[in-house]
A and B are shown apart, each in its own frame.
Chain A
Amino acid sequence: DAGVIQSPRHEVTEMGQEVTLRCKPISGHNSLFWYRQTMMRGLELLIYFNNNVPIDDSGMPEDRFSAKMPNASFSTLKIQPSEPRDSAVYFCASSFIPTETQYFGPGTRLLVL
């Protein structure tokens, strides 16, 4: 298996632009998680899905952030409009069931100028 796949790996954009991050979980995994990592706040859970349904989005910082999972093999995290404080590494992870080992993708490094 190729593991969790994320794209793009790097994204540089200007403030106010829309940013879309993509994730393909490991085949057969039913749970998908979006995290954000910064030096100041460490690794934070933004939202997670179970069987394509959003279960907990309490970590989503504000209305500028949205996430979708239209099917079991694809998810997106969208930021519109982006701001410099959104600059971070965004990770996607998946697991077979929510309470077991999570497998992380390589991350998307986002820089908002």
Chain B
Amino acid sequence: KQEVTQIPAALSVPEGENLVLNCSFTDSAIYNLQWFRQDPGKGLTSLLLIQSSQREQTSGRLNASLDKSSGRSTLYIAASQPGDSATYLCAVRHNTDKLIFGTGTRLQVFP
């Protein structure tokens, strides 16, 4: 059974710092991996999707990498801003259509 874990569970950093969020999964036979952002009381917003054949994806200040063989993905946020404060979730998909979500990292960026 696939298990997805995110470390750390919570993170508080000053504005301007570069930071890394970690996601690990137990079954490496994934189809793709997706990173989401969730603001309090809101739905999820997709940030990046990495296919199993890809090593990384970039969007603005965000960079997500995937090491399928070791069961790991990282989300790198450059020059963090208070507006980045949210919960970040990773989710993996096998050949079925199900997304298995991680436990989330709650990020706070203070001015």
Contacts and interface: CB of A to CB of B under 8 A. Distances in A.
B57 to A, nearest CB: 12
B32 A106 contact: no
B34 A101 contact: yes
Contacts of A105: 43
A71 to B, nearest CB: 20
Contacts of B43: 4, 91, 104-107
Contacts, number: 47
Interface stretch (A12-20, A42-50, A60-68, A76-84): A42-50
Contacts of B31: 99
Contacts of A93: 44
Contacts of B49: 100-101
A91 B45 CA distance: 12
**Dominant SS at the B interface?**
strand
B32 A99 contact: yes
Contacts of A45: 98-99
Contact of A102 (B41, B46, B103): B46
Contacts of B36: 104
A31 interface: yes
Contacts of B97: 31, 48, 50, 55-56, 98-99
A38 to B, nearest CB: 12
Given A42-B103, A42-B104, A43-B89, A101 B98 contact: no
Interface in A84-111: 91, 93, 98-107, 109
Contact of A101 (B46, B101, B104): B46
Nearest to A100: B49
Contacts of A104: 36, 43-45
B108 to A, nearest CB: 18
Q: Which 8 A-B pairs have the closest CB atoms?
A: A98-B97, A104-B43, A104-B44, A43-B101, A106-B43, A101-B46, A107-B43, A101-B49
Interface of B: 31-32, 34, 36, 41-46, 49, 89, 91, 93, 96-99, 101-104
